[in-house]
Structure 1
Amino acid sequence: MDRDWDEVYASGDFQNYWDFAYPSPELVAFVAGQPAPKGAVALDVGCGAGREAIFLAEQGYQVIGVDLSPSALKIAEGRASKAGVTVDWRQGNALDLPLDDQSVSLVNDRGCFHVISETDRPQYVNELVRVMKPGAVMLLRGCREENPESPFVRVSEEVVDRLFGEAFDRGPVLPVQLIANAHKEEGLNANLVILRRKGE
């Protein structure tokens, strides 16, 4: 997706598209089903303005939030300070994550994968395999529908199996709506899947 992410955050325009006031219901339900193990490290990849990274920190995770945009991370840092939690914000690319090998127990992706081109998606998966511990879990959400006018690349059962199948076990691919402040009525038609990194 060809977009100047930093400009979208610096201008405040992100609030007209994907910003949201509360952590997503699907992430809240996910965490309710498996509370943070002691000392667990969570990665929020493409964390944007930080809403879900902050929620994970509030639930006891040691959280690393990675985003391309310095302006997004500045907003996120302010939100974390207001919430009274600490998050390790890191400017970086999802295709070259600024994290150590096998250092993460949980990955949260709400809309990062679906803006990565088909060409770059294998590298995205390779980076997750590198930074996730064996047995680590990922909550992945992204656009459900194929639309030539959409900036998003579809997240489907076929895509998940083709790209993640070798290194991950998965649960069912289920439909969800990704809600934003500016689009509370309709949201974005999306799919959700929970992936578990293979290995001992």
Structure 2
Amino acid sequence: MSIDPSRETFESIYAGKPPWEIGKPQRAFVEIADQVTGAVLDVGCGTGENALFFAERGHPVLGIDFLERPVEEARRKAKRRGLHAEFDCRDALTLTELNRQFDSVVDSGLFHVFSDEDRVRYVAGLASVTKPGGRLFLLCFSDEEPGTLGPRRVSEQELRDAFAEGWAVEEVRATRFEIAPDLKDLSFSEGGPKAWFSAMRRQG
């Protein structure tokens, strides 16, 4: 079953146990943590594990998600852990209205939910919130993951094409998503769903 990107679908998923909620940051972001500089925006932050990881490393962090439930949980986590991080309920397709810019932007599993039309809007929004010379770090489902379970698959060429204007694509490499280990009725590749990890630098 493919994931419908609608608000109702994600509200339903968060009412249970989202497969991407693993209680820690995704390994792909831990591996490049030293490349992340300055103020960080986590787009589609969910319950905040990636955002809180960077906050713990001393970065000013804003995490946004279009659902109130995970944003509230992210705020509770920050309080419990004694970490300072902002979390805001905001649609990622309205980034151009944020009126803030960041040195680093992270996207863990959001890019792949958008239609072609919304993808264009989203990339334009990312450009507006990333400082010139700032970097975007993006983790998305790969077209090398077999089947149709989960979100839309993305090819390396689609990634490069989406960021062809105004960005320097520094890296696209194959990796894996980590998912919750106790999920029922979900079957992905052994070792986790195949993914692309990309690093892009904002030009201008």
Structure 1 length-normalised TM? 0.88
Structure 1 residues 126 and 35: alpha-carbon distance in aligned structure 2, compared to 1, 3 A threshold: closer
Report % sequence identity: 31
State the match for 1:174 in structure 2: 173
* Aligned pair partner of 1:106 in 95, 101, 104: 104
- Cα deviation, residue 29, structure 1: 1.6
Once the two structures are superposed, the pairs formed by residues 21-36 of structure 1 within 5 Å of their partners are 21-32=23-34, 34=35, 36=37
Of 149-158 and 112-121, more deviation after overlay is shown by 149-158
Once the two structures are superposed, the pairs formed by residues 132-143 of structure 1 within 5 Å of their partners are 132-143=130-141
| Structure 2: distance between partners of 1:21 and 1:13 | 11
Structure 1 stretches of at least 4 aligned residues deviating more than 3 Å after TM superposition? none
State the match for 1:7 in structure 2: 12
State the match for 2:68 in structure 1: 70
| Structure 2: distance between partners of 1:42 and 1:93 | 17
Structure 2 length-normalised TM? 0.86
1:54 alignment partner AA: L
- Cα deviation, residue 153, structure 1: 2.5
| 1:77 aligned counterpart, secondary structure | helix
1:12-70: CA deviations, max 9, x gaps?
332xx1111221222112113x353xxx2111000001000000111111111010110
- Cα deviation, residue 85, structure 1: 0.6
Unaligned runs of 5+ in 2: 184-189
State the match for 2:187 in structure 1: none
| Structure 2: distance between partners of 1:115 and 1:18 | 14
| Structure 1: distance between partners of 2:36 and 2:71 | 26
| Structure 1: distance between partners of 2:54 and 2:20 | 19
Structure 1 residues 129 and 80: alpha-carbon distance in aligned structure 2, compared to 1, 3 A threshold: same
| Structure 2: distance between partners of 1:83 and 1:175 | 32
1:13 alignment partner AA: K
RMSD, aligned CA: 1.9
1:72 alignment partner AA: P
Counting matched residue pairs gives 191
1:161 alignment partner AA: R
